């Protein structure tokens, strides 16, 4: 009796698998943004137009799907930071990036909370986070070199301000950056010089007032 032959995946099957995975992730992004983390994998499968088995083949657990959604979002922001890195106006690029991070995080806050409570960051998301921090640091340095951002600001400072702005943004139903969050971002801008003197005055000449003998 001959041994059974194992079927190898064809290029078409691999392309279909990638397409289905992308469909599931896109559906998960929409479902989580609209219905929160209570949405089931079966509901996501219906939104994606695939069978439940297809979802489970790519993401065996709901946590695995949430991590993939988080990684995709972080990688998207990292890509945006890379595209803005060489912008002529580094200050505008930096604050534009900050605005996108805050408004998009507001829409994905439920996912962030659930993954965080389940032992985040996992290795997959942690690696994406490292890449994000590096890209953010490049934007920050470029903006500081142009004098648009405070020179004493660090990446941990920016991340802490992001956290506060996201909490503020949750109070606003609009997708635009709220006024209080914008005020927090403005605190990162470089302060104008308070010294009105632009050129040092010449020192007064030293006179020898010693009386002659």
Instruction: Indicate if 147 and 163 belong to the same structural domain.
Output: yes
In a domain, 94, yes or no: yes
Q: Which residues of the chain have pLDDT under 50?
A: 6, 114-121, 194-201, 212-213
Instruction: Indicate if 159 and 55 belong to the same structural domain.
Output: no
Q: Which domain holds residue 181?
A: 62-191
pLDDT of residue 93: 97
Q: pLDDT tens, 83-112?
A: 999 999 999 999 999 999 988 876 665 555
In a domain, 7, yes or no: no
Contacts of 163 (CB under 8 A, 6+ apart): none
pLDDT of residue 186: 96
Instruction: Indicate if 70 and 52 belong to the same structural domain.
Output: no
Give the pTM: 0.72
Return the SS3 of 176: coil
Domain final position from 35, 60, 85: 60
pLDDT of residue 119: 47
State how far the Cα of 138 lies from the Cα of 37, in Å rounded to an integer. 33
pLDDT of residue 69: 86
Please report which helix (H) or strand (E) contains residue 94, including its range: helix 90-107
Task: Extract the tokens encoding 209.
Answer: 């007032």
């Amino acid at each position: 009796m001959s041994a059974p032959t194992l079927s190898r995946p064809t290029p078409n099957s691999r392309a279909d698998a990638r397409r289905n995975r992308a469909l599931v992730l896109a559906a998960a992004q929409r479902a989580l943004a609209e219905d929160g983390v209570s949405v089931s994998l079966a509901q996501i499968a219906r939104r994606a137009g695939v069978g439940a088995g297809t979802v489970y083949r790519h993401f065996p657990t709901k946590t695995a799907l949430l991590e993939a959604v988080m990684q995709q979002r972080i990688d998207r922001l990292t890509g945006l930071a890379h595209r803005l890195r060489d912008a002529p106006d580094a200050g505008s690029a930096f604050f534009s990036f900050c605005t996108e991070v805050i408004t998009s995080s507001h829409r994905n806050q439920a996912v962030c909370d659930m993954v965080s409570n389940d032992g985040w960051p996992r290795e997959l998301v942690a690696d994406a986070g490292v890449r994000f921090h590096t890209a953010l640091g490049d934007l920050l340095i470029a903006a500081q070199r142009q004098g648009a951002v405070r020179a004493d600001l660090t990446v941990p400072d920016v991340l802490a301000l992001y956290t506060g702005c996201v909490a503020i943004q949750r109070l606003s139903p609009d997708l635009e950056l709220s006024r209080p969050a914008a005020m927090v971002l403005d605190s990162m801008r470089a302060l104008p010089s308070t010294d009105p003197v632009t050129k040092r005055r010449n020192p007064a000449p030293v006179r020898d007032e010693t009386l002659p003998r």
